[in-house]
């Protein structure tokens, strides 16, 4: 747990996600808006500028790859919609910082308890 906390506290991605969540809450709690059109437009432009700072969150990617189980691969040969859904899901998982940390925790447990089996594969 200690290693995970250290990794998470030093992760720029998680810091940015936290800042984004706080900004969204501030925006959601805002209840007063200017009736002056120019002032309102200016406020919208400021919000767009701040929001653009968080675009990097969606650009994050890990080195993790995901594969469907053999029985799903057979189903995907017959169902193109299922294949598309799984491909999208796997792509999103490979960009998930929390999934990456979960794999790191499993690797920490493996090293701590001397588990000999493979926890996950990382593409090289």
Q: Where a domain ends, among 34, 60, 86?
A: 60
> Which residue, among 9, 10, 12, 31, has the nearest Cα to 20 in the 3D structure?
12
Kindly state whether residues 32 and 80 are assigned to the same domain.
no
Cα–Cα distance, 20 to 51 (Å, whole number): 8
Tens-digit pLDDT profile for residues 73-117: 999 999 999 999 999 999 999 999 999 999 999 999 888 887 767
- Segment 1-24 shows an average pLDDT of 94
> Does 121 score more than 80 pLDDT?
no
The helix, strand and coil proportions of the chain, stated in percent and rounded to the nearest 5, come to 70, 0, 30
Kindly state whether residues 31 and 66 are assigned to the same domain.
no
Range(s) of the domain holding residue 72: 61-124
Kindly state whether residues 65 and 50 are assigned to the same domain.
no
- Segment 60-74 shows an average pLDDT of 93
Do residues 72 and 86 make contact, with C-beta atoms less than 8 angstroms apart?
Answer: yes
Cα–Cα distance, 100 to 93 (Å, whole number): 9
Do residues 85 and 98 make contact, with C-beta atoms less than 8 angstroms apart?
Answer: no
Kindly state whether residues 99 and 113 are assigned to the same domain.
yes
Kindly state whether residues 6 and 52 are assigned to the same domain.
yes
Kindly state whether residues 65 and 123 are assigned to the same domain.
yes
Kindly state whether residues 50 and 76 are assigned to the same domain.
no
């Amino acid at each position: 747990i200690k290693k995970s906390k250290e990794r998470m506290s030093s992760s720029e991605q998680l810091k940015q996600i936290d800042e984004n969540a706080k900004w969204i809450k501030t925006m959601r709690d805002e209840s007063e808006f200017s009736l002056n059109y120019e002032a309102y437009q200016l406020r919208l432009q400021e919000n767009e500028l701040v929001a653009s700072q968080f675009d990097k969150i969606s650009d994050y990617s890990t080195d993790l790859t995901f594969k469907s189980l053999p029985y799903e691969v057979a189903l995907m040969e017959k169902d193109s919609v299922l294949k598309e859904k799984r491909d999208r899901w796997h792509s999103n998982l490979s960009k998930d910082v929390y999934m990456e940390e979960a794999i790191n925790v499993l690797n920490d447990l493996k090293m701590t308890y001397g588990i000999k089996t493979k926890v996950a594969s990382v593409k090289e």
